[in-house]
């Protein structure tokens, strides 16, 4: 005699396509670290009307549908500065942030684009109103979209050929 009783409190397993819809949405972005011969960062300042208006950050932005992180970094660099990189971009790190401006999780990929040649023209997009080359020490008093601990860790990774894993902009 079978004495098993069907369980009534067992959740049904969702088909994969339905289950995927329940997962949190994550914004994925890519940024490029370009340095000059003196290890100064190329930074762009966000223009009025942008979510990070007045803050300085690395060239970069969100991935387009189907785009890989390195391709997005190369595209964003060109769109925001007019600079086309010929060589490979070297992956130097990522940052996972749990919530950015109320949009939810963001995963930033960082690539080292090498040295920017002296006199390299920068053609800014309408997203930015200023650009410049800045030494790490000069950034302490600047309003930054990409935080100082993040930039410090990325500079170290670029110099040493390592990869840094960040959480909320901090190593660890």
| The pLDDT of residue 133 | 97
- CA torsion 114-118-123-128 (nearest 10°) is 70
Distance from first CA to last CA of the chain, Å, rounded?
59
Q: Where are the beta strands (DSSP E) in 26-163?
A: 27-35, 41-46, 56-57, 60-62, 90-97, 106-115, 128-134
Rounded-to-integer distance, Cα 123 and Cα 100, Å: 28
- CA torsion 60-46-51-98 (nearest 10°) is 40
Residue that has been written with the tokens 């080292």 in this structure: 112
**Secondary structure (3-state) at 156:** helix
For 25-171, CATH number out of 1.10.760.10, 3.10.20.30, 3.30.9.10, 3.90.79.10 equals 3.90.79.10
Q: Tokens in use for 154?
A: 């990325």
| The pLDDT of residue 115 | 94
pLDDT tens track, the chain, 172 positions:
666 666 666 667 888 898 888 887 888 999 999 999 999 999 999 999 998 999 999 999 999 999 999 999 999 999 999 999 888 899 999 999 988 778 789 999 999 999 998 889 999 999 999 999 999 999 999 999 999 999 999 999 999 999 999 999 999 8
């Amino acid at each position: 005699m079978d004495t098993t009783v069907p369980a009534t409190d067992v959740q049904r397993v969702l088909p994969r396509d339905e289950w995927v819809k329940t997962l949190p949405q994550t914004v994925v972005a890519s940024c490029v670290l370009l340095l000059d011969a003196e290890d100064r960062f190329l930074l762009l300042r966000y223009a009025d009307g942008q979510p990070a208006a007045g803050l300085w950050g690395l060239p970069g932005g969100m991935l387009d549908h189907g785009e890989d992180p390195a391709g997005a970094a190369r595209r964003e660099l060109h769109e925001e500065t007019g600079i086309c990189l010929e060589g490979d971009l070297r992956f130097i790190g990522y940052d996972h942030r749990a919530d950015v401006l109320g949009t939810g999780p963001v995963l930033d990929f960082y690539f080292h684009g090498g040295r920017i040649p002296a006199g390299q023209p920068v053609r800014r997009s309408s997203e930015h109103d200023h650009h410049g080359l800045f030494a790490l020490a000069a950034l302490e008093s600047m309003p930054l979209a990409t935080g100082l601990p993040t930039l410090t860790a990325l500079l170290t990774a670029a110099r040493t050929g390592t990869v840094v894993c960040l959480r909320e902009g901090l190593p660890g």
